[in-house]
Amino acid sequence: MKKIILASGSPRRRELLTQIGVTFEIYKAEGDEVMTSSVPEEAVKELSRQKALEVSEKCDGTVIIGADTVVAGDGQIFGKPKDKADAMRMLRLLQGKEHRVITGVTILLKEQQRTVSFAEVTKVHVFPMTEAQMEAYADSGEPMDKAGAYGIQGRFAAYVSGIEGDYNNVVGLPVGRLYQEALAAGVDLITYGKD
């Protein structure tokens, strides 16, 4: 049976896929993330591939979508903060500057025995923030499960002066590009498995 699996527990990725009309199941990747590249675009593609491969071995999906997002700025790669102090460190480095949000996506197409991987990059510009503003934001708890310690779709929107690129990519999944890449590989994610 044709089935799409999202290899992620992210509620934001789930919402974005649902928003464009894709019918899918969730099977969260649990393995350790091993990054061997210091180039953000390569690192996220590698992590998304690891997630998709791990989940493909455990479930019966015919299309598996893996994704991983990092924030790159100040010559560093930022994942999710370990604690409040780590979130504050990230916010101090991002405030008042531009950074890049990079999402790596891997689509495993079992029927075609094909893998498609890509990285989408969006530039985000952040207004200067005071220490008190960063403290209040960190205390909200919102940054804790997000790459770069912020969610553009939440309270942090008050500090974003602009973006260049795909907004959905910053939220966690560049669904437009995902749909187009799958379509180019011969799979219409919106109608897949419904015929």
- The two three-digit tokens of residue 55, written as one number: 């989940």
H/E stretch holding 25 reads strand 25-26
The active-site residue out of 32, 60, 68, 145 is: 68
Catalytic residue flag (residue 83):
no
**Phi, then psi, of 168 in degrees rounded to 5:** -60, -30
Cβ 189 vs Cβ 63: under 8 Å: yes
DSSP H helices, the chain, are 11-19, 40-56, 84-94, 131-139, 167-171, 175-184
Which amino acid is residue 53, in one-letter code?
A: L
- Where in the sequence numbering do the catalytic residues fall? 68
